[in-house]
Chains A and B, each alone.
Chain A
Amino acid sequence: MSAPRADLERSDTRWILSTEELANSPSRRDGIKAEDEKKKRRQTVSFIEECGKKLKLPKLPVVVAETYLNRFYGLNSFKAYDRFVTAQACLFLAAKVEEKPIKLERIVVECHLVRYESRKRPLDPGPTKNNPDYVAAKNAVLEAERVLLYSINYDFDILNLLPITHFESLLRKLKDSGVRDDQPF
């Protein structure tokens, strides 16, 4: 497989990139400007967010999918892999990992709607699910899933590492120490 893989030796800190690594990201080496890369990350994450809503996914798998995406583009260039296809693969994988699996057909159809909403052109799998456009879109996500798995080095149990998890425990501690908690968390 041609996609780069996470460094196996740096186990715990593998996903914390240094300033130099960030400044010399795969996208940067591929001629994408820093602002553009940031923008692409932002847009793709909100694409995942939108698709997650459309698919009625709980927050957890959506957050996990967004983390997969950011990790993936820490190792790969936005030019080399279509971000919307990668985003769908992230959702597809995160939903399975977080025990809320979604049929690939739904992901492909709903994400297509989110992506091309303005053009109002739904993707119809067809009665025997062999509409060539649909089959191509589906296969692209399946291939992207394999590249994604390899790139993130099968590290998909990431809940304990997410900032939100630490934030949550911090809030709990505050609450336990008597800080008023008017807002449900």
Chain B
Amino acid sequence: MQAYDVGGELGKGQWGTVFRGKRVRDGLRVAIKRVRAGDPVEGVNFQVLREIKMLKGVKHENIVELVDVVPQEEGLNMIFELMATDLEKVLYGTTPTEAEIKGYAAMLLEGLAFMHAHFALHRDIKPANLLISFEGILKLGDFGYARYLADENCHMSDQCCTLWYRPPELLFGASEYGFGIDTWSAGCVLAEVGLKHPLFRGETDLDQLAKIFQITGPPDETAWPGVSSLRKYIRFSKNDNPLTVRTLLNNARLAPDFVDLIVGLLSLDPKSRDSAVDALDRPFFTALPRPVARPPRKHL
């Protein structure tokens, strides 16, 4: 750890503390995530392993860079590039312009498209995990749930994604799922950016489904073939006046091409959901104003 000067504390997570720091050699500003690796029961934390596995050696403009891993006594220091803020803070602490919003949307989808092209799932896309650099570049962060897509017929856990951003197939207990889980979360994030409040705010798994179907109407075998054979499928009764996501967003005065983008990401059936690449092809990104990345006005 002599290679780094450790500064003040930035925050505390589930399994460690994050400090501000500087690389002695060149003054690079870093965030040091110090984790207790020596868990007396199960050794080095599973999530820490995942994060190192997925991020080590990866360089992409929209993925947070893991600069180094340094052991220390019973623990580990994960050295990340220091980021200025995150999308949650930008969204609720400042007023990003339309062009900046478009930039964030493009950068989020670029990051996901890169991961998906490498058969990797993030599995915890939410505003707080979308970090923003001092230059205003959005980068996917927190890879504690990320993994490679399992082979066919190999089960993956349905216990991932923060509840409000969790797609219906996970809530129905699907164990074979794909890139659609990240794009659903991305759709929820973008809707939240437009609405300035989370789109579906459930309190339990069941309530989350209810909140989604209140707006979309419940799925059936025509709209989503195979839905009724999912492990935790429950039939929801039809509500009288489904609003649709489109009308909800239109009522909030979002630009029509922005609404198209979000609606494409929020299809209930994961098979007909837009991929990150599809979404990047939407007219939203070629219409004016052009997407921009500007330094955030407030820092951590």
Q: Which residues of A contact B (CB under 8 A)?
A: 1, 11, 92-93, 96-97, 99, 101, 103-104, 141-142, 145-146, 149-150, 154-157
Other-chain residue from A103, A149, A155, A157 in contact with B42 (beta carbon distance below 8 A): A103
Q: Which of B203-238 contact A (CB under 8 A)?
A: none
List the 3 closest A-B pairs by CB distance, nearest first. A154-B69, A157-B53, A145-B43
Task: Report the Cα distance A154→B53, complex, angstroms.
Answer: 8
* A158 to B, closest residue via Cβ: B53
Q: Which of B1-60 contact A (CB under 8 A)?
A: 37-38, 40-44, 46, 49, 52-54, 56-57
Task: Report the Cα distance A157→B147, complex, angstroms.
Answer: 11
Task: Report the Cα distance A101→B45, complex, angstroms.
Answer: 11
- Contacts A1-B71, A99-B150 known; A154 to B56 CB distance under 8 Å? yes
Task: Report the Cα distance A155→B55, complex, angstroms.
Answer: 10
Could you tell me if A157 and B56 are in contact, using CB atoms closer than 8 angstroms? yes
**A contact residues around B53 at 8 Å (CB):** 97, 156-157
- Contacts A97-B49, A156-B52 known; A146 to B42 CB distance under 8 Å? no
| Number of B residues, CB within 8 Å of A | 22
Other-chain residue from B41, B44, B147 in contact with A149 (beta carbon distance below 8 A): B44
Min CB–CB distance B176 → chain A (angstroms): 14
**B contact residues around A149 at 8 Å (CB):** 37, 44, 71, 76
Task: Report the Cα distance A93→B52, complex, angstroms.
Answer: 13
- Contacts A146-B37, A156-B53 known; A101 to B46 CB distance under 8 Å? yes
**B contact residues around A104 at 8 Å (CB):** 41-43
**B contact residues around A154 at 8 Å (CB):** 52, 56, 69
30 contacts between A and B (CB under 8 A): A92-B43, A93-B44, A93-B49, A96-B43, A96-B44, A96-B46, A99-B147, A99-B156, A101-B42, A103-B42, A104-B41, A104-B43, A141-B43, A142-B43, A146-B37, A146-B44, A146-B71, A149-B37, A149-B44, A149-B71, A149-B76, A150-B71, A154-B52, A154-B56, A154-B69, A155-B56, A156-B49, A156-B52, A157-B56, A157-B57
Min CB–CB distance A54 → chain B (angstroms): 19
Min CB–CB distance A91 → chain B (angstroms): 11
**B contact residues around A96 at 8 Å (CB):** 43-44, 46, 49
- Contacts A96-B46, A104-B43, A154-B69 known; A142 to B38 CB distance under 8 Å? yes
**A contact residues around B38 at 8 Å (CB):** 142, 146
Chain B CB count within 10 A is highest, among A11, A97, A142, A156, for A142
